[in-house]
Amino acid sequence: MDNLFDSYEQDFKQLVASVKDKLEKDGKEQRGEKLKATLRRVEMELDEADEMISQMEVEIHGMPQSVKGQFQTRVKNCKAELSRYKKQAKELHQSTTRTDLFSSGAPSDNPYGSSESADQRARLLSGTQVLADGTRRLEDSHRIALETEDVGADILRTLRTQRGQIEHTRDMLTETDTHIGRASGTLKGMIRRMHQQRIMTIGIVVVLVLIIGFILWAKLS
């Protein structure tokens, strides 16, 4: 299981290294459609990196509690690194969008047309920002869902442990009840024999008294 986790982590690091190279090198050198194509590839690689993190979290679910903490720390570091590059890609994408919007179209001598074009660009920028905010909220929801899944898995493991303890206690109580039943039967037998011995002792004493009485009577008469 650790080998799978390490494999996913290695794939994640390769994807992040590719994203870093595209953002910090190609993002500064490229322009226009070339840069847009690079950003699309960056977005795909970020999605793949996100999927690698999800796979790592799935592997953590089946790990023993004693080693789970260190692997969760590694996943947390991967998430922080991925979030940093997502933010960087988002900023570069917004910058590219603004550049395209303000540079598109030829200047017009009509002030009304120019004003209308500026309004359209402003609305497009606003829509882009709303879309980016929506994406961020979806990412937060996904993260919360994964954290909730972790909590649910921990609760299920705790319940299974408690169920095992309850079943073990029930078996012990059943065994104890069996021993108590046997001990009770033994005590009843001992009490019954004690009563029998007491009756026999009383009978012997009565017989002896009668014999002694008969002997005394015989001598006296």
Rounded CA separation 60/154 (Å) = 11
**pLDDT of 12:** 92
Confidence grade of residue 91 (pLDDT, cut at 50, 70, 90): confident
Same domain, 219 and 155: yes
CA distance 81 to 12: 10
Contact 89, 46 (CB under 8 A): yes
Q: Are residues 28 and 93 in the same domain?
A: yes
Q: What is the pLDDT, as a whole number, of residue 108? A: 45
Q: What confidence category does residue 109 fall into, taking pLDDT thresholds of 50, 70 and 90?
A: very low
Whether 138 maps to a domain, the answer reads no
How is 88-107 classified by DSSP, letter by letter? HHHHHHHHHHHHHHHHSS--
The dihedral through the CA atoms of 13, 17, 22, 23 has a sign that is positive
| Structural domain count, the chain | 2
Model confidence at 179, in pLDDT bands (50, 70, 90)? confident
Lowest mean pLDDT among 33-37, 109-113, 137-141, 195-199: 109-113
Q: What is the pLDDT of residues 14-69, one digit of tens each?
A: 998 988 888 777 666 667 777 778 888 888 999 999 999 999 999 888 888 888 88
| Residue 143 falls inside a structural domain | no
- Identify the CATH number of the domain in which residue 98 sits: 1.20.58.400
pLDDT confidence tier of residue 79, bands split at 50, 70 and 90: very high
Is 127 contained in some domain? no
123 in any annotated domain: no
Please tell me which residue, 120 or 13, carries the higher pLDDT value.
13
CA distances from 76 to 8, 30, 119, 136, 168 (A): 14, 32, 42, 18, 38
Structural domain including 179 reads 149-221
Q: Answer whether residue 144 is part of any domain.
A: no
Same-domain pairing of 33 and 98: yes
153 and 95 in a single domain? The answer is no
| DSSP for residue 31 | -
pLDDT tens digits for range 181-210: 888 888 888 888 888 888 989 989 999 999
Which of 102, 136, 168 is where one domain is finished?
Answer: 102
Query: Could you tell me where the DSSP H helices lie in the chain?
Result: 2-21, 27-29, 32-61, 65-103, 111-220
**How far is the C-alpha of 57 from the C-alpha of 73, rounded, in Å?**
11
Name the average pLDDT for the chain.
79
Residue 112 is assigned to a structural domain of this protein: no
Residues 6+ apart with CB under 8 A from 5: 56, 59, 60, 71
Burial level of 9, CB count in 10 A (0-12/13-18/19+)?
A: buried
Inter-residue long-range contacts of 138-143, CB under 8 Å, 24+ positions, other chains counted: 139/86, 143/79
Place of tokens 């692997």: 71
Indicate if 11 and 67 belong to the same structural domain. yes
